[in-house]
Structure 1
Amino acid sequence: MIKKISAGILTLALATSCVSSKVYKDLENKYADLKKENRTLADENGVLTKEKNALDLQLKDLQSQLEKLKGERDKLSADYAATKKNYDNLKSSYDALEKNSSDALDSNMKKNRELLAQLEAKEKALAAEQQRLNQLKADLQDRSSRVDELEGMIAAKEAAMKKLKDTLSKALNSFEGKGLTVTQKDGKVYVSMENKLLFGSGSWIVSPEGKKAVVEVAKVLADNPDIAVLIEGHTDNDAYAGGGQIANNWDLSTKRATAIVSIIRENKKVDPKNLTAAGRGEFAPLATNDTAEGKAKNRRIEIILTPKLDEISKMLNEI
C-alpha cells in the first residue's frame, strides 16, 4: 500500500513541472503615395497583430496550466478521500481487535501509524498544489489585466492622435491648396508644407504667409505637451547654387528646419525639449525628381508629431 501511494506521489510530482495631364499626374503620384502609406500601415498592423497574438498565446498557455493543475488537485482530493476512508475502516478494526488480541492490536497500531503518515503527506501535497493553483490564477488575472490595460492605452493613443490630426486640419484649413497637407499614418501625424508656402528659392527665411501656418501649428502643440515633434527639412536633387553659409542641400534643409523651430519656440507654452530639427537634404523624396511637379513636392518641411510611448514600452517589457 505504501509503495502504491509513494508511486502516486512521485507521478504527481513529475506531472506538475478626365482632367489635365498635370492634375492627372498629381493624382497618379498621390495614388502611389497612398499605396506606399497603405503598405507601411499594413506592416505596422502586422507587427501589432503579431505582438497581440504572442500575448494571446501566453494567456492560453497559462489557462492550460491552470486547467491541468485543477485536474491534479482534484486527483489529490480523491486520493485523500480514499485514504481517509481506508483509515476510518482500519480505525474501526483497531477498536474491535483491541478487546481480543494484543498482537492484532500492535499490528493495527502500526498500520494506523503508517496510514496517518500517508494522510499527512497527502494533506501537505494537496495544500501545496492548492497554493500553486491560487498563485497561477493570480498570475493569470494579472496578465489579463495588463493586456486589457495595454490595449486601452494603445486605443487611447490612437484616438488622441486622431483628435490631434483633426485639430490641426481645422486650424490649418485656410492654407488648403497652398501646398500644406495634414495626414495620419503609422500612429503619427504629419504636417507637410511645400517650399512655395514657406521659402524663396535657396532661402531659409520664412515668408509671412508661411509663418502664419507655423504659428497655428505651434498653438496646437502648446495644448499637447505630451507630443514629440520632429521638424525635417527636404530639398529636391538640384545642387545648391548659392554660397555664403550654405555648402549644399543638406545644409540648406537643416537651416530651413531650424528656422521653423525658431518660429515654434516663439510660443512660450511649447516645451523646447519636445522639439527636434533635422535636415534630410534630397535623400528622402516624396516623388520623382525627373519632373518639375515632383521636385516641387520634394522641396518641403515635414512636421512629424509622435506620441510618447514610454508607458506602453514599459508595460510591454513587464508582461
Structure 2
Amino acid sequence: MKKIFIGILGMAVLATSCVSQKKYAELEAKNKETEDLLNSATVKLNDCLEEKATATSKLASLESENQFLKSTNQGLIKQIGDMTTLTAQGAENLEKSLESLQEKDLTIRKLQDAVTRRDSVNLSLVQSLKGVLGNLEDEDIEVSVEKGVVFVSISDKLLFRSGSYQVTSEAKAVLGKVAKVVNNKPDFEFMVEGHTDNVPIKTGALQDNWDLSVKRATSIVRILQNDFGVDPVRMTAAGRSYYVPLVSNDTAANRARNRRTRIVVLPKLDQFYSMIEDGMKDPAIGGSGK
C-alpha cells in the first residue's frame, strides 16, 4: 500500500513538473516575442528620432532660407524701386539733353546765319569798291578781306608827300570814290589807320612816327567828312606808327610798302560782334554764361 501511494505521489509530482515546464516554455516564448517586439519598437523609435532630428534640421534650414529669400526679395523690391526712379531720372535727363542740343543747334545756326550775312555784305562791299576804284592792278591801292573784315590799303606816296600829313589833290579823287561807296552803305562803320616806316622823324609839328601816323589818319577823316559828307559818327582815326609793318623795314622798297593808310570797313561793328560775343557766352553752346 505504501508503495502504491508513493507511486501515485511520484506520478503526481511528475505531472506537476511537466505542466510547469510547459508553461515555462510558453512564457519563455512569449518573453522572447516581447523582447523582439521591444527591440523592433526600439529600432523604429530610433528611426523616428533620427527622422525627427533630420526634419528639425531641414525645417531650421528652410526657415533660414525663407528668411534669406524674404530679405533678398525686399532688397530686389528696393532695387526695382531705385531702378524705376533712376529710369525716370534718366528719361528726364535725356529730355533735358535733347532740349539743350536743340537750343545749342538753334544758337549755332543763328551764329552761322550772322556770319553768312556778314560775308555776303562784305562781298557786296568789295565788289562796290572794286567797281568805283577801277584798275586794282595798281600796287598803290589794294582791296582785301581778312577775318571777315574789308580793308582798303592806299600807299602813302599816293596820299602824302614825304614826311607830310597834307593830302595830295590826286588822293582826294581816290578818297571821293571810297566815300561814294560808304555813303551808299550807311550801316557800315570804318576806321582810318595811319602806318609809317621805322625811320625816325621829328619836326616842329611832329614829335615822332606816332604823331605822323595819327595826323595822316585825321587828315583823311577830315576830308571824308568835310569834302564828301561822310557822317563823322561812323569814323575812327587811328595811328599805328611803325609797329604793324607789312614787311621788314630793311630796304627802301620795303619801307615804302609799310608807309600806307588803311581804311578798315566794319558792317555794324558793335551790333555784329555783340551778337557773336553773346552767342558764344550762351550756356546752350557750352559758354560760361558770364
User: Fold conserved (TM > 0.5)?
Assistant: yes
Cα shift readout 1:78-111 (whole Å, capped 9, x = no counterpart): xxxxxxxxxxxxxxxxxxxxxxxxxxxxxxxxxx
Q: Which runs of 5+ in 2 are unaligned?
A: 1-72, 286-290
Structure 2 residue 259 is matched with structure 1 residue 299: yes
1:294 is paired with a residue whose SS is: helix
Distance 1:290 1:179 in 2: 20
TM-score w.r.t. structure 1 length? 0.58
Measured at CA, do residues 304 and 174 of structure 1 come closer, stay the same or move farther in structure 2, by a change above 3 Å?
same
Whether contact under 8 Å (2:159, 2:168) holds in the other structure is yes
* Corresponding residue for residue 134 of structure 2: 173
Q: Quick one: which of 234, 239, 242 aligns to 1:282?
A: 242
Correspondence 1:237-256 to 2 at 5 A: 237-240=198-201, 243-256=203-216
Q: Does residue 315 in structure 1 map to residue 275 in structure 2?
A: no
Give the direction of change, closer, same or farther, for the CA distance of 1:226–1:317 in structure 2 (3 Å limit): farther
Given the alignment of the two structures, is residue 8 of structure 1 paired with residue 8 of structure 2, yes or no? no
Distance 1:265 1:252 in 2: 20
Q: TM-score, normalised by structure 2?
A: 0.64
| RMSD after superposition | 2.4
CA distance in 2, matches of 1:148, 1:165: 25
Larger Rg belongs to:
2
Q: Residues 146, 204 of structure 1: CA spacing in aligned structure 2 closer, same or farther, 3 A cutoff?
A: same
How many aligned residue pairs are there?
Answer: 206
Instruction: Measure, in 2, the Cα distance between the counterparts of 1:139 and 1:298.
Output: 50
1:46-61 matches, within 5 Å, as none
Query: Contact (CA 8 Å) 2:248, 2:254: kept in 1 or not?
Result: yes
**Deviation beyond 6 Å, 4+ runs, structure 1:** none
Residue range with higher mean Cα deviation, 149-158 or 132-141? 132-141
- TM-aligned CA deviation for residue 130 of structure 1: 5.4
1:297, 1:222 → 2: CA distance? 29
Q: 2:98 aligns with which of 95, 117, 137?
A: 137
1:316 aligned partner, one-letter code:
M
Note the alpha carbon deviations across 1:292-313, whole angstroms, 9 max, x for none: 2112111110111234222122
Q: Which runs of 5+ in 1 are unaligned?
A: 17-71, 73-125
Partner of residue 66, structure 1: none
For residues 136 and 206 of structure 2, the distance between their equivalents in structure 1, rounded to whole angstroms, comes to 29
8 Å CA contact retained: 1:178, 1:197:
no
Residue matched to 2:68: none
Once the two structures are aligned, what percentage of the paired residues are identical?
A: 34
What displacement does 1:12 show?
Answer: 5.0
Distance change >3 Å, CA 134–CA 291, structure 1 → 2: closer
Task: Give the conservation status (yes or no) of the 8 Å contact 2:189–2:265.
Answer: yes
Aligned equivalents of 2:114 and 2:162: distance in 1? Answer: 44
